[in-house]
Amino acid sequence: NPPEPEKPTESSKPIEPSKPEKPTDKPVNPPVTPSEPENPLGPVTSEEHTENSEISNLDGALSVTATLFIGLLALLI
């Protein structure tokens, strides 16, 4: 009888590590939503960064990628 209760405790151990994996997936999704409101701000900030050509180029690339992601999300929805 004593060895039997010990087995379920071992099986519960592998379940514990699986739990932290799920929460890690959740935080990945929220950052995607805040990126959407930031897109309209992108062009506004790009005007301020017009002085720095290097920064403006980086912002432009990010804005293009952001627009593509929004388009894909819109299609999925």
- Residues sharing a CB contact under 8 Å with residue 38, sequence separation 6 or more, in sequence order: 66
Number of domains composing the chain: 1
Query: Closest Cα partner for 60 from 49, 71, 75?
Result: 49
- Which pTM was predicted? 0.27
Give the whole-angstrom CA distance, residue 53 versus residue 75.
33
Q: What is the pLDDT of residues 23-44, one digit of tens each?
A: 444 444 445 554 545 555 555 5
Which range marks the domain in which residue 13 is found? Answer: 3-76
Q: What is the pLDDT of residues 56-75, one digit of tens each?
A: 677 788 888 999 999 988 98
DSSP structure string for 26-68: HHHSTTHHHHHHHHHHHHHHHHHGGG-HHHHHHHHHHHHHHHH
